Amino acid sequence: MMQITPRLTFAHLLEKDRPQAVAWVRGNEDNSGLSGLVKFFSTPYGGVLVEAEIFGLPNIETQHSSDFYALHIHDAGDCSDNFAKTGDHYNPGNMPHPMHAGDLLPLMGNQGYAWTAFYDKRFTVPEIIGKSVVIHSQRDDFTSQPSGDAGEKIGCGVIMMEK
């Protein structure tokens, strides 16, 4: 007998359902080839399934390379001025880093490409509409305050309701 598990539900969401929100990510001036889509799916478990597919990360030219890049939700949905106006990490609970609701799992770029999917119960889709998804040039060390010493912002997208 096959038992329905969260993994099966998540696989179905990713394959068959439309996300409730999306962020189209673009790179900064130095990373103009960076682009991708981050999708946010509400789940029957009270959390959010996040899927990100990113192209053009900085290690694209290095054969067989892999690097980590921090991925965060920031308070402000303003990707203008080379992403200087995105604000701090989304942190409604006023928690220390890395327990901000906006501290997401890192991207692992493989020769410029990254794909990830994960489940998070620290926010809901309606809470993040109008905020931004930011990709940083380095990995998050999950220690340094207030934001993990993740380097410059190289990618940004505003989270919008999917129509």
Please name which of 85, 135, 89 lies closest in space to residue 109, comparing C-alpha atoms.
135
- State the CATH number of the domain containing residue 110: 2.60.40.200
Please report the pLDDT score of residue 107 as a whole number.
96
Question: Is 101 domain-assigned?
Answer: yes
Please report the pLDDT score of residue 1 as a whole number.
62
- Residue 3's Cβ-side half-sphere holds a number of Cα atoms within 13 Å equal to 2
Residues of the chain with pLDDT under 70: 1-2
Q: How far is CA 97 from CA 120, 140, 141, in A?
A: 16, 10, 10
Please report the pLDDT score of residue 146 as a whole number.
81
3-state secondary structure of 137: coil
Question: Is 60 domain-assigned?
Answer: yes
Please report the pLDDT score of residue 58 as a whole number.
92
Question: Is 151 domain-assigned?
Answer: yes
Model confidence, pTM: 0.94
- Which pair of structure tokens corresponds to residue 4? 């329905």
Q: What are the pLDDT digits (tens) for 116-139?
A: 999 999 999 999 999 999 999 999
Q: How far is CA 152 from CA 19, 27, 43, 139, 149, in A?
A: 28, 11, 32, 11, 9
Question: Is 27 domain-assigned?
Answer: yes
Question: Is 44 domain-assigned?
Answer: yes
67, β-bridge pairs: 109
In the chain, the number of structural domains is: 1
Question: Is 112 domain-assigned?
Answer: yes
3-state secondary structure of 85: coil
Question: Is 1 domain-assigned?
Answer: no
Strands 132-136 and 66-69: unpaired
The domain of 24 spans 6-161
Question: Is 131 domain-assigned?
Answer: yes
